[in-house]
């Protein structure tokens, strides 16, 4: 989506003054005529002000902005978003247009940040799994070492390797289940506390 704006304010203030109805109509007609454009939506200053007040209703900035400080604009949806250069070349510098803004470039930064955060979370999860595996392995070795006398007696009696290893496996499984139940209960309790606020 793109915003063709008769901009006001520090960045977009135009020296030539307010857009005329003829310029506005010509821009709308030319936008509709472009083959890359799917739909065009016009937003007046009063509509922009209403939307601004809804978005920033809890902010102090909303009380200091008036409708005539916000730009009227055309919001354009393209059939193929990669064709934004066509709109930029057709309308940049045109009378009545201060800026042709590609909102996708703003969102791309946001999506790049989300991708970095997702990859970071996956990396942390991978290290957590590796660490958990190493801790479990180490715990089982320590448990086997502490019971070396009992396992030695079981071997002398003629117990099979499976019957010697089974108690350690069951101990690991029960410990993991207890840890899982505890962690799940803790997370559920925290979620209910957060949701209740």
Is the pLDDT confidence value at 10 over 50? no
The tokens for 149 are 């006398």
For the segment 160-175, what is each residue's pLDDT rounded down to a tens digit? 888 877 887 787 788 8
What 35-39 contacts at long range (C-beta under 8 Å, 24+ apart), as own/partner pairs, is 36/78, 36/79, 36/80, 36/83, 36/86, 36/87, 37/76, 37/77, 37/78, 37/79, 37/87, 38/77, 38/78, 38/79, 39/76, 39/77
pLDDT given at position 132? 82
For the segment 50-67, what is each residue's pLDDT rounded down to a tens digit? 888 888 777 777 777 777
Beta bridge partners of 72: 6
Q: What is the band of 83 on the pLDDT scale with cuts at 50, 70, 90?
A: confident
Cα–Cα distance list, 111 to 75, 100, 104, 118, 138 (Å)? 21, 21, 10, 10, 40
Q: Where is pLDDT greater, at 177 or 8?
A: 177
Q: Do 76 and 1 touch, CB atoms closer than 8 A?
A: yes
Rounded average pLDDT over 32-59: 82
Q: Which of 10-14, 34-38, 65-69, 149-153 has the lowest mean pLDDT?
A: 10-14
Q: How far apart are CA 43 and CA 26, in angstroms?
A: 16
Q: Do 42 and 27 touch, CB atoms closer than 8 A?
A: no
pLDDT given at position 197? 64
Is the pLDDT confidence value at 130 over 70? yes
For the segment 90-104, what is each residue's pLDDT rounded down to a tens digit? 877 777 777 777 777
Is the pLDDT confidence value at 29 over 80? yes
Within 15-147, where are the H helices? 21-33, 45-55, 84-91, 103-146
The tokens for 178 are 């207890």
Q: What is the band of 17 on the pLDDT scale with cuts at 50, 70, 90?
A: low
DSSP 8-state secondary structure symbol assigned to residue 116:
H
CB within 8 Å of 8: residues ≥ 6 apart: 14, 68, 69, 70, 71
Say how far residue 124 (Cα) sits from the centre of its chain.
Answer: 18
pLDDT given at position 82? 74
pLDDT given at position 12? 32
pLDDT given at position 119? 93
pLDDT given at position 181? 92
């Amino acid at each position: 989506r793109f915003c063709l704006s008769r901009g006001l304010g520090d960045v977009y203030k135009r020296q030539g003054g307010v857009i005329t109805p003829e310029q506005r109509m010509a821009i709308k007609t030319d936008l509709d005529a472009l083959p890359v454009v799917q739909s065009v939506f016009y937003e007046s200053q009063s509509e922009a002000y209403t939307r601004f007040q809804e978005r920033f209703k809890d902010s102090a900035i909303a009380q200091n902005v008036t409708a005539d400080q916000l730009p009227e604009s055309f919001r354009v949806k393209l059939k193929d978003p990669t064709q934004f250069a066509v709109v930029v070349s057709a309308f940049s510098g045109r009378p009545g247009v201060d800026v042709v803004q590609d909102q996708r470039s703003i969102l791309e930064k946001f999506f790049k940040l989300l991708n970095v955060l997702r990859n970071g979370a996956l990396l942390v999860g991978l290290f957590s799994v590796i660490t958990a595996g190493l801790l479990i392995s180490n715990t089982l070795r320590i448990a086997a070492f502490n019971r070396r006398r009992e396992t030695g007696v079981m071997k002398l009696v003629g117990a099979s390797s499976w019957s010697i290893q089974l108690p350690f496996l069951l101990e690991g499984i029960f410990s993991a289940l207890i840890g899982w139940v505890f962690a799940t209960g803790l997370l559920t309790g925290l979620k209910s506390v957060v949701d209740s606020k």
